[in-house]
Each structure stands twice: as C-alpha cells, then as structure tokens.
Amino acid sequence: MQLRLPSSISDAQRCLAEGAIPIGGATLVWAAWQRDGFPEKAVSLRHVPEANVVGSEELGGAVLLHRVDATVPEVLHRAASGIGTGAVRRTATVGGNIVGSTLRCLLPAALVLDARATVLEPGNVYDTDLGELVAKRPLLLGLRWRTPLVSGYRKVEGDAGGPPPLVVAAAVHADGDSDGNGPRQLRVAVREGYEVLSESTPFDRDADQVLHALERTDLAALPAAAREHLRAQVTDVLVRTGEV
C-alpha cells in the first residue's frame, strides 16, 4: 500500500482523484485490510494544516483524539478523553471516529454544539450538516461551531462485550447573539446502543418545564434508565448556567 501524505487541500484532492482511500489512524480498518487485502493507495490528512486545527470553535478531522484538550468546549473535550485507551487516543482521529466508526463517540457532543462539517472531495470543498456527514461518510476536513454558554457530557459504564455504553451530551446556546444575550436554546443528544438521538428545546429557568418539553420528543422512547441519566445531565447543565 502506498500512503500519500499531502500537505495542502489541493494536493489531497489530487490524491482522492487518483483513487486513494482516506485513512486516519487506521484503528478501525487495519484488521479488515489484513483479512481482505490492503488498498493500492491511501491518503492521510495528517500534514494538511486545515485538518489539524484545535481551536475554541473549530477542530480538524485529522486531529488525534489525545490532542482534543480544554481549548474546545467541555462536552467535546470530555467525549474525546473518554474514548478507548491512551494508546487508541494517540492513534485515532476525529474524522475516523465520527465518519468511520459505528460507535461515533464524538457525534453526540458535535450535535449539541450544532456543529457544521467541512468535507473534502476530489473537486470540491463544502460545508454540510452532521446528518449528511454521517449518511454519506465523506472525508471530513474539520468541524466548526459557536461556543455554547455551558455544556456537559456523561458516559455510563457499560458491560464488557456488550453494546456501546450510554452517552448523554447537553449544551445551552444563546442563538443568534454573539454577546450571549439572545434567546437561549438547550440541545441534547443521547447515544443508546448504536443509535444517536438529538433534540432541542427553548431554555427555561424552570428545569421541570425543560424536562417536560424533552419528554414530548422522541427521547421519551428511551429506556427508563437512559431517561434518568438524561434528566440528571440536563439538570446539571441548566444549574451551571447560574439561572436555574
């Protein structure tokens, strides 16, 4: 296998046009390639500057998980730090986790940040939403979002060999107002098994009103234990706004 390491977006596009298969940390595909055969060409964005940014409102698709630090919002930092072992986090990438994995551990955090994805194709670079990103699984160049007022994340310990552990993410945003004084919105996302559900509802100083609103969404179909964790995480985030 020939591994291409372009240093610019245009170089990466040329590699894709030549049929190179995108590869991140290869933590998910290596075993399959050993079994089924390696591709002739692969391409990594590890040397493309735009794919390696770690900022308060952006994160590159080629960033290794162990580099996702407190620069980003709490919900995304905690999600990344709880994935696998230290060895996995030093190898696996943001793009590989969201696009290449069925676990998508970072997806709930990205959803509550209302993140937009920038994706790379042989002849195009464009922005899209996370739904299209997950459905079409293009090459992720990076994520962008607006900083939330407060965010939170919890991952419930699961059984060894069982389904993926429950994940609950939440964030409060001041929509449409850069000074934080706009209408406030609570966004939540839950990974139950391999499914990820997300909803939003207007912020209210009465936590019970917010929770009742969420219970009228598809989240009401979650198992009782999952709803309890959701309730606890939402309450915690609302309290940390200092207005509940």
Q: How confident is the prediction along the chain (244 residues), in pLDDT tens digits per residue? A: 788 999 999 999 999 999 998 887 655 666 666 667 777 898 999 999 999 999 999 999 999 999 999 999 999 999 999 998 899 899 999 999 999 888 899 999 999 999 999 999 999 999 999 999 999 999 999 999 999 999 999 999 877 777 899 999 999 999 765 555 668 999 999 999 999 999 999 999 899 999 999 999 999 999 999 999 999 999 999 999 988 7
Question: Which 8-state DSSP code applies to residue 237?
Answer: H
For residues 212 and 238, the answer to whether their CB atoms sit within 8 Å is no
pLDDT of residue 71: 97
Radius of gyration of the chain (CA): 19
Residue 190's Cβ-side half-sphere holds a number of Cα atoms within 13 Å equal to: 25
Work out the number of other CB atoms within 10 angstroms of the CB of residue 109: 30
Residue 216 burial (CB < 10 Å; 0-12/13-18/19+)?
exposed
pLDDT of residue 21: 87
Q: Is the pTM of this model over 0.75?
A: yes
Q: Which distant-in-sequence residues (6+ apart) come within 8 Å of 227 by Cβ?
A: 215, 219, 220
pLDDT of residue 159: 75
CA distance 19 to 13: 10
CA distance 204 to 210: 6
DSSP 3-state of 3: strand
Phi, psi at residue 99, to the nearest 5°?
A: -95, -40
Q: Which distant-in-sequence residues (6+ apart) come within 8 Å of 199 by Cβ?
A: 187, 188, 189, 214, 217, 218, 219
Handedness of CA 226, 228, 232, 238 (dihedral sign): positive
pLDDT of residue 1: 78
Task: List C-alpha distances in Å: 67 to 28, 90, 106.
Answer: 19, 8, 14
pLDDT of residue 32: 67
For residues 27 and 92, the answer to whether their CB atoms sit within 8 Å is yes
